[in-house]
A = this chain, B = another copy of it.
Amino acid sequence: MASALRVLGIDPGLTRCGVGVVDVRADRSASLVHVGVVRSATDLPIGERLAVIAAGLRGVLAEHSPDVVAVERVFAQQNRNTVMGTAQASGVALLLAAEHGLPAATHTPSEVKAAITGYGSADKLQVQTMVARVLRLDALPQPADAADALAIALCHAWRRCGPSAGSGGGALTPAQRAWADAERAAARR
């Protein structure tokens, strides 16, 4: 566990902000440290909602001391009713990472799906199933925002490990194997 990278993954949102912390080792194996959802009441003013989210994220940062933060990237094309609140929450998450001196990265939903399942248009259940398998959980992580946060964290760690990091080992999980296969296929193109 000495060389594990501790990643805080954040699925930004105002009503539910998913947070997941994982330790990922150089052989790509991973273990669950924390998973949860920070919620803010919909009837609060927007500034106070963001302050509630910030307080929750600061609590996770203080308790679990991640090495790096990974946040799902928000697109203008997403649901217009919620996208601005989601973007504002992502801004708060990225700000807090910087203020804690931590590197922060964003990953697109399709990058996350590709890293976890091997292909970029996987559905939510496939992603959740793979996250549960990789982390050896008895049940699918709930709610979905929490599972997404774990997926973002795993995605970030595995992308950092580089394409060859896990390819020699015999103890790859199915997700890791699918990922390595997809990378080899991409490299042949």
Listed in ascending order, the chain A residues whose CB lies under 8 Å from chain B are 45-48, 50-51, 54, 69, 74-77, 80, 83-84, 87-92, 94-95, 97-99, 102-104, 106
Contacts and interface: CB of A to CB of B under 8 A. Distances in A.
Contact of A87 (B47, B77, B88): B88
A47 B91 CA distance: 8
Given A46-B104, A74-B87, A88-B94, 10 more contacts: A45-B104, A46-B94, A47-B94, A47-B97, A47-B102, A50-B98, A54-B99, A74-B84, A76-B84, A92-B95
B95 A50 contact: yes
27 contacts: A45-B98, A46-B104, A47-B69, A47-B94, A47-B95, A47-B98, A47-B103, A47-B104, A51-B98, A51-B99, A54-B95, A74-B87, A76-B83, A84-B87, A87-B87, A87-B88, A87-B91, A88-B88, A88-B91, A88-B94, A89-B91, A90-B91, A91-B91, A91-B92, A92-B92, A92-B95, A95-B95
Give the number of times this chain occurs in the complex, counting copies.
2
A90 to B, nearest CB: 6
A93 to B, nearest CB: 8
Contacts of A106: 46
A11 to B, nearest CB: 15
Contacts of A89: 91
A138 to B, nearest CB: 35
Nearest to A93: B47
Contacts of A75: 84
Contacts of A77: 80
Contacts of A104: 45-47
